Structure 1
Amino acid sequence: MPKTRSYNDKKFWELLKEHRDVIVKPTNGSGGAGVIRVIASGRKKFSVHREVKKRKFHSKRKLIRYLRKKIGKNSYIVQQRIHLAKYNHRPFDIRIMVQRRKRKPWKVTGRLVKVAGPGYIITNTARSKGKVIPLKRAVKSSAVRKKLNKIALRATKCLSRHYRGLRVIGLDMAVDKKKKVWIIETNFAPATSLFLRLKDKSMYKRIIKYQKR
């Protein structure tokens, strides 16, 4: 998982100094709202990317003032940015659905790729006007696809020991440019509508079937 801290000025600077490229985002956000990328591009030079807008700052004070204004009184985290692999020059991440029937083992029931829209860093398709495609189209390596399944199942089993009664988890995962697999975040009430946007509706039907049992 990417290194993650609750946001405050000190932790933000520590993580930015270590990784030079971080994501600042709300803890309870959805749809990619409020996500800000910050890059340390030189001594007292910082680049900020929010939505499709880009800005540059030449002092720490001005950067922090900008972040405080955007964050307000909301709860945020700061996270090491993963350099996502790209599909047609646009970053993408992967939604993996893991479900189980009562007293049955966890199963991967759906996988798809969310490709960011032009100029966006977020992969939420509604906000960035991105698109959904089958996993095989973006991740050619069968070994990497198997690894995604394996890690998703291991993470789900671990979470289910702490959150009793779970029947479904949607994991947002990523593959970086070196084909390393990452878990970005997990969702306990993941939307199924993304799978309707695939031409092949078999995964959507399987997901719904699992929900009914």
Structure 2
Amino acid sequence: MSYSYGKWTKYHIMKEDHTLVGYLPKTNILSNAAFWELIHENGTVVIKPSEGSQGYGVIQVSKVREEGYEIHSNRNKIICGKNDIEEFLDKEKYGRKLYLVQQKIPLATVEDCPFDIRVMVEREENSIEWRVTGKLSKVAKKGYFITNIAKAILTVEQALEKSTIKDIDVNLLNIKIENIALLTAYQLREYYQSSRVIGLDIA
């Protein structure tokens, strides 16, 4: 059986592991029903193409008041009503490819800019052993909600020191991050057997 490299496929593979499932934001194929279910549950959702990369086509939608919603794309924000959201969801571009709607993860911030941690996991050719080869924190540019457009690249320690996260054991957090990354690599390896490098964004 062949497997797609899209986010939707990877999401289901990772959900099969009882430990990883607790770290995954709830995700569904974009439809009007799935969108309204998630935004009613969480207040904010992210819409993204399953096959997308570099943050292209990623949009955040938030409920800001009764029947009022904010659409945040790149640095642009507009406020609209429920009918406008329905038209937005029905746009042709969302019918041409597979889009996902996902629970928004509230990111910690550095100087009011969200950040996440990119972890690289690699294995040698003909080896089944994975190892973490690098970790860096990406701080989003002012006005952006995704970190693909970064204003700063910091070490994990620098980001945590400057961040809104307080009273945290950095060593224990680093161990936890690496364990999650390695567990993900071993879970995906079963299906993507030729892969030797995996990059993960951990929030």
The two structures have a TM-score, normalised by structure 1, of 0.75
Deviation of the 1:66 alpha carbon: 2.2
RMSD: 1.5
- The 2-side partners of 1:160 and 1:104 are apart by 9
Task: Tell me, yes or no, if the aligned pair for 1:124 and 1:130 is still in contact at 8 Å.
Answer: no
Distance 1:30 1:119, change over 3 A: same
Does the aligned pair in 1 maintain the 2:32–2:89 contact within 8 Å? Answer: no
Structure-2 residue corresponding to 1:52:
75
Contact residue 48 and residue 99 of structure 2 kept, 8 A: yes
Determine the C-alpha separation between the residues in 2 that align with 1:83 and 1:134: 20
- 1:98–1:106 Cα contact (<8 Å) kept: yes
Q: Which residue of 2 aligns with 1:37?
A: 60
The AA in structure 1 aligned to 2:135 is: R
Partner in structure 2 of residue 157 of structure 1: 186
Q: 1:37 to 1:86 in 2, by over 3 A?
A: same
The secondary structure found in structure 1 opposite 2:107 is coil
Residues 1:110 and 2:134 are matched in the alignment: yes
Report the equivalent of 2:151: 130
* Counterpart position of 1:64: 86
Structure 2 distance, partners of 1:68, 1:142, is 46
Question: How many Å separate the matches in 1 of 2:114 and 2:58?
Answer: 15
Distance of 1:34 and 1:45 partners within structure 2: 22
Structure 2 CA distance for aligned equivalents of residues 90 and 2 of structure 1: 20
Structure 1, gaps ≥5 residues long: 175-213
| 1:46 shift after superposition | 0.9
SS of aligned partner of 2:96: coil
* SS across alignment from 2:86: helix
Match of 2:40 in 1: 17
Q: Distance in 1 between matches of 2:173 and 2:110?
A: 16
- 1:139 counterpart (160, 168, 171): 160
Note if contact 1:45-1:57 (Cα within 8 Å) is conserved in structure 2. yes
User: Is residue 111 of structure 2 the alignment partner of residue 82 of structure 1?
Assistant: no
Per-residue displacement from partner, 1:108-149 (whole Å, max 9, x unpaired)? Answer: 001101110010011113xxx522111111135221111100
Aligned residues, how many? 170
Distance in 1 (CA, whole Å) between partners of 2:189 and 2:160 is 28
**Aligned-pair CA distance for 1:167:** 1.1
Residue ranges of structure 2 left out of the alignment (5+ in a row)? 1-23, 162-169
